[in-house]
Amino acid sequence: MIFGRKHFYLLILNIVLLGSFQASSQKFHSLEGRWDLEMEFEGKTEPSWLEVRHSGHETLIGRFVFAFGSARPVSEIKIDDNNFSFSIPKQWEPAGKHMLFEGSIEGDILKGTMNYTDGSIVKWRGTRAPKLSHTENPDWGEPISLFNGKDLTGWHADGENQWLVKNGILTSPKQGANLISTEKFSDFKLHVEFRYPEGSNSGIYLRGRYEVQIADNKGLEPMDIYFGGIYGFLEPNQNAAKNAGEWQSYDITLIGRRVTIVANGKTIINDQTIPGITGGALDSKEGEPGSFMIQGDHGPVEFRKFEVTTTKY
């Protein structure tokens, strides 16, 4: 094939145009990334989370996690220099209008307001979420039991306590307070054995921030809001739940942001990244060690083992 000067110029032009197209389509805004937020909501500081990323040439979209509920999609984030805004419909909030967010970015700090469903104004502030380093094949120590089989030593409730120990089993017989470990952890392996009655719902918060769902979901298609999912974020590859009333187990490894979950002997989530905190988290301080929290505010649940193995570093 003869490659003439005309073809050469056309080739160069195409390369230039392609490069220009790619540059314009990949334009980065400083708002992009993941952000750990704190909101002054109903007299308390509540943790929240925001992710912002590109969709196509110019549109910015995202995900948002509030103090409760699952991660919510944000269809468009409007930008005006360093100011931004977006709205999302209510999820578990009481009746009212959509929530409107307005904020600004200054370096690695976000701040702004949220117009809540009832019209009240909520102030919030955020910082960039830390990367959280991952260590391959860490040197693990010996497992320790966080539940002594006798009493609630090493744990405390976040409200009026309904938790008790009966015949060596940690029991929440009815809806009530969550249970929080006194000790805090960074990287770990967790082995738990639990059971729940028909129709019940609970969960375990890793570092108090990332909920692994426990619920009576046998026979349903796997979803991130069902048994074994990282609530609202990571979907199991199968539903490994047993019948309600049977003892079941999770073996969970969390290193940095990467989690592996083995449910009843089946690997259902394999070395996946948890993007951010889930609804109901204790805080949004992702760079710090955190407690375990067992959800007790949804339904009854029992545990007979709660063993943790930490790294030696």
In this predicted model, what pLDDT tens digit does every residue of 269-278 receive, in sequence order? 999 999 999 9
Q: Where are the domains of the chain?
A: 33-128, 144-310
Its CATH architecture, for the domain 33-128, is Beta Barrel (2.40)
Q: Looking at residue 94, what is its pLDDT?
A: 83
DSSP assignment string, 135-162: -SS--B---EES--SSS-TTEEESSS--
CB 227 within 8 A of CB 239: yes
Q: Looking at residue 11, what is its pLDDT?
A: 53
Question: For residue 48, what are the CA distances in angstroms to 52, 65, 142?
Answer: 14, 5, 34
- pLDDT tens for 187-235 read 999 999 999 999 999 999 999 999 999 999 999 999 999 999 999 999 9
- pLDDT tens for 232-245 read 999 999 999 999 99
Q: Looking at residue 25, what is its pLDDT?
A: 53
CB 86 within 8 A of CB 95: no
Mean pLDDT of 30-57: 95
Question: pTM for this structure?
Answer: 0.90
Instruction: Tell me how far the alpha carbon of residue 174 is from its chain's centroid.
Output: 25
- pLDDT tens for 104-126 read 999 899 999 999 998 999 999 99
Query: Domain 144-310 sits in which CATH superfamily?
Result: Exo-inulinase; domain 1 (2.60.120.560)
